[in-house]
Amino acid sequence: MRKSMIAANFKMNKNIDEAITYIKEFSTLVKDVENIDIVIGASPILLYAMKNELKTDKIELSAQNVHWKDSGAFTAETSAKVVKSLGINYTILGHSERRQYFCETDETLNLRVKNALNNDLKIIFCIGETLEEREANKTIEKVSTQLKEGLKEISIGEMKNISIAYEPIWAIGTGVTATPEQAQNTHKEIRTLLKEMFDQEIADSTRILYGGSVKPANVKELMSQEDIDGALVGGASLKPESFIQIVKFN
Distance CA 220, CA 248 (A): 9
Catalytic residue among 97, 104, 129, 167: 167
Does 1 score more than 90 pLDDT? no
The Cα angle at residue 2 between residues 142 and 217, in degrees rounded to 5: 75
pLDDT in tens, 102-137: 999 999 999 999 999 999 999 999 999 998 999 899
Give the mean pLDDT of 145-149: 98
Task: Identify the active-site residue in 95, 97, 104, 129.
Answer: 95
Its CATH architecture, for the domain 4-247, is Alpha-Beta Barrel (3.20)
The whole model's pTM is what? 0.96
Question: Does the annotation mark 67 as catalytic?
Answer: no
Q: What is each CA distance from 148 to 21, 191, 198, in whole angstroms?
A: 40, 13, 10
How far is the first Cα of the chain from the last one, in angstroms, to the nearest whole number? 17
95 is catalytic: yes
**pLDDT band per the 50, 70, 90 thresholds, residue 172:** confident
Q: What is the pLDDT, as a whole number, of residue 250?
A: 85
pLDDT in tens, 179-206: 999 999 999 999 999 999 999 999 999 9
